[in-house]
Amino acid sequence: MTARAEGSLNLKAIQQAARRLEGVIHPTPLDFSATFSRLTGSRVYLKLENLQKTGSFKIRGAYNKICTLDEASRQKGVIAASAGNHAQGVASAATYAGIASLIVMPENAPVSKVTATQGYGARVVLAGENYDQAFNHALALQKETGAVFIHSFDDPEIIAGQGTIGLELLAAVPDLDAVVAPVGGGGLIAGAALAAKTIRPAVQVIGVQAESAPAVYQLFHQTQKSGPPPAGRTIADGINVRRPGKLTRELIARFVDDVVLVDDEEIAEAILLLLERSKLMVEGAGAAGLAALLAGKIFLPEKKTAVILSGGNVDINLISIIIERGLVKSGRRLLVSVLLPDQPGSLSRLLALLAAARANLISVSHDRIQPEVPIKEAAVDLVLETRDAAHRQLILDTLVQNGYKLKKHFN
């Protein structure tokens, strides 16, 4: 660890950050989940940072950093680059502290996130096609204006602020066995691990990354061969970071026990289960830790395990896709296309058969002019609500047994 990190990043610094944050943030609940305990074999506690102000943990580090600025720096304001949670955290923290903030976001940033960031009091500049270009533009503006650049993870005060989560975990469950946290740039897990391990050295700390953004995983397991991995695509955009921080890498190497990977399907399943079972809206990055437990990537039988749900700022369109895909995957939705004789009564007989099989009709589309549909026949596309995979198969078998030609179906 560098001398700078050694001198400023310790339990005392995190405790000071916690005092600064009193009355500013929510001390979020640590909620025991009987459902996820049963599904994973661990005794699962969910740290609900998705309920934090601005919808994620990021305000902790941002406000702690801003509190350490001297008056001259405050007069110049702060600047940051972000496509999401860090933008909102810095904007809110700066407004709360009474100083100006400028956030550079990519030109293709979701309108909802841009609007939210402006709503927290920041001036937003759109620049570049991606985060890296927005970051470079923010650095150029910082040189022009003299504003203080607020890094999203590689900063001692940012890491100390995120580390206050570790204090809250051990205060709520002093004999905690494990902490599971998502990892992008590493600020969250670095701070939480430092706090948790200092208070309770026996606690395990395990990081979780998306398979398409495995930089910390590769560094931790020493499998990175030639520089950071290329930019990937993942629904866990909050942890889609190619280059973790220098300080965070050092702290992860010292305090983290393991780092594992999950894919987008596993993350999507965790998001859906959190919605359905716990009534919690959690973004992809926030659900990564639970996804690793559910998928068996982390196995901690009967261990008291805190899973940090780091944020809840998820795009509603993405949620709708995850719900639809999840229903199909679990057997509760069936999409099927049937060829019918093109004559009166054919559709009503089909619908009567489906009703008898207790399939609930969501939508139906009737088309007899597609070139691939034989003359004197019609293609009927059906979306059906079903109970489970067995019920879905029963419906398909019933259709075949009654002489219907299945053009296609999706499982």
Residue range 314-326: mean pLDDT, rounded: 86
Average pLDDT score, the chain: 91
**CATH code for the domain defined by 3-57+155-325:** 3.40.50.1100
Query: For residue 47, what are the β-bridge partners?
Result: 30, 308
346 is catalytic: no
The pLDDT score that the predictor gives to residue 2 is 43
Residue, of 82 and 287, whose pLDDT is higher: 287
- Exposed/middle/buried for 343, CB within 10 Å: 0-12, 13-18, 19+? exposed
pLDDT of residue 332: 87
* CATH code 3.30.70.260 region(s) in the chain: 331-410
Q: Would residue 58 show up in a list of annotated catalytic residues for this protein?
A: yes
pLDDT tens digit sequence for 183-232? 999 999 999 999 999 999 999 999 999 999 999 999 999 887 766 767 67
pLDDT computed for residue 88 by the predictor: 95
Tokens 């897990």 belong to which residue? 189
pLDDT at residue 3, rounded to an integer: 42
Fold of 331-410: Alpha-Beta Plaits (3.30.70)
119-165: pLDDT as tens digits: 999 999 999 887 778 889 999 999 999 999 999 999 999 999 999 99
Distance CA 241, CA 138 (A): 17
CB atoms within 10 A of CB 74: 17
Average pLDDT over residues 104-119: 87
Tell me where in the chain the CATH 3.40.50.1100 domain(s) lie. Answer: 3-57+155-325, 59-149
What average pLDDT does the segment 77-91 reach?
92
pLDDT of residue 402: 93
**Residue 410: pLDDT above 50?**
yes
- What is the CATH code of the structural domain delimited by 59-149? 3.40.50.1100
Which carries the bigger pLDDT value, residue 322 or residue 307?
307
pLDDT tens across 322-345, in order? 888 888 888 888 888 898 888 889
Q: How many CA atoms lie within 13 A of 345 on its CB side?
A: 0
Question: pLDDT digits over 356-373, tens only?
Answer: 999 999 999 888 777 777
Distance of CA 234 to the CA centre of its chain: 10
Q: How confident is the model at residue 409 (pLDDT cuts 50, 70, 90)?
A: low
pLDDT tier, 100 (very low <50, low <70, confident <90, very high otherwise): very high
| Three-class secondary structure assignment of the chain | CCHHHHHHCCHHHHHHHHHHHCCCCCCCCEEECHHHHHHHCCEEEEEEHHHCHHHECHHHHHHHHHHCCCHHHHHHCEEEECCCHHHHHHHHHHHHHCCCEEEEECCCCCHHHHHHHHHCCCEEEECCCCHHHHHHHHHHHHHHHCCEECCCCCCHHHHHHHHHHHHHHHHHCCCCCEEEEECCCCHHHHHHHHHHHHHCCCCEEEEEEECCCCHHHHHHCCCCCCCCCCCCCCCCHHHCCCCCCHHHHHHHHHHCCEEEEECHHHHHHHHHHHHHHHCCCCCHHHHHHHHHHHCCCCCCCCCEEEEEECECCCCHHHHHHHHHHHHHHCCCEEEEEEEEECCCCHHHHHHHHHHHCCCEEEEEEEECCCCCCCCCEEEEEEEEECCCHHHHHHHHHHHHHCCCEEEEEEC
Q: Give the residue carrying structure tokens 């030639």.
A: 226
On the question of pLDDT at 7 being above 70, the answer is no
Query: Catalytic pick from 53, 58, 65, 197?
Result: 58
Range 34-59 average pLDDT: 97
What pLDDT is recorded for position 113?
83
